[in-house]
Amino acid sequence: MELKLDAVTHRYSDTIVLRDISLEIPSERISCIVGPSGCGKSTLLRLLGGLEQPSEGAVRQVGAPPAGCLNALTYIFQDFALLPWRTVEGNVALVLEDHKLADREAIIADVLARTRLTDFAGALPKQLSGGMKQRVAIARALAVNPAVMLMDEPLSALDSQTRELLMDDLVGLWTKQPFTAVYVTHNLAEAVRLGHRIVVLSRRPGEVCEIVEIDTPLTERAHGDPTLDAQQKHLWGLMRDEAAAADAELLHV
């Protein structure tokens, strides 16, 4: 399933947050959205997920969700959003509870194995590191076999080493079984490591500045790769002035 935005403009009372955004989210690709703080990235994700309706334009779903999909548009947030009193397995099981599934146990076992959490099935969130908590959130999202994963700064609460490990995990997961994701980040290193396409937004009101396609397979995007470094520099070139201006604007609000 693909998502399409047709000339979407969004306002909060008098303030235009996003302006005239037309965009395609291709299936089985990771689309990164980058842009300065406050430019409307999270708003764009809420519009894509149907949590808000655009003031103008339309958000369309094209094609059908995959077989066995229990929740077409599934979010992953920065703060993990786990229930502290439930075990790892219990947190994953939660999203399957409303469904009478003979193979519920098999789904749980599969997603815990894919996220390397099998040995921690009985642990409580407070016993886990931040990286493991986010892996539980990813396992929970995978359990519903979503059409599109909507990820809002999923690694931003983690330290840089844990971020690296989780990026490797996401590359591994995608390579074994490609999924469709919209990945919002302010971190350009994450964008060039994980994005098949990178959508650069301007400062508020967010408009599409440029769309960068990166053809290098995810598994070949090694650290210090000169092509990726050049792409990251190019992205920073696009964002730098916008970020500085956005920063100055926030000071005067």
- Other Cβ atoms less than 10 A from the Cβ of 56: the count is 14
Among 1, 17, 212, 218, binds ligand ADP (CB under 6 A): 17
Q: What are phi and psi of 141, to 5 degrees?
A: -70, -40
User: What are the structure tokens assigned to 197, written together?
Assistant: 């396409």
Name the minimum Å distance from CB 156 to Mg ion.
Answer: 9
Name the minimum Å distance from CB 5 to ligand ADP.
Answer: 14
- Helix crossing, 160-176 with 130-143: angle to 10°? 20
Closer of 140 and 204 to ligand ADP (Cβ): 204
78 near Mg ion, rule: CB under 5 A: no
Closest to 31 (Cα-Cα) out of 156, 246, 190, 233: 190
Residues with Cβ within 8 Å of residue 229, at least 6 apart in sequence: none
Residue 197: which of ligand ADP, Mg ion, none does it interact with, CB under 5 to 8 A by kind?
none
**Segments in the chain forming alpha helices (H):** 41-48, 88-94, 104-114, 130-143, 160-176, 188-194, 226-252
Give the binding-site size for Mg ion (rule: CB under 5 A).
2
Give the binding-site size for ligand ADP (rule: CB under 6 A).
11
Within 194-213, the residues that bind ligand ADP by CB under 6 A are: 204
Distance CA 109, CA 247 (A): 45
Closer of 41 and 114 to Mg ion (Cβ): 41
Residues with Cβ within 8 Å of residue 104, at least 6 apart in sequence: 93, 96
Name the minimum Å distance from CB 249 to Mg ion.
Answer: 16
Within 30-69, the residues that bind Mg ion by CB under 5 A are: 41-42
Question: Binding mask 24-43 vs ligand ADP (x if CB under 6 A, - otherwise)?
Answer: -----------x-xxxxxxx
Tell me which residues touch Mg ion (CB under 5 A).
Answer: 41-42
Tell me which residues touch ligand ADP (CB under 6 A).
Answer: 12, 17, 35, 37-43, 204
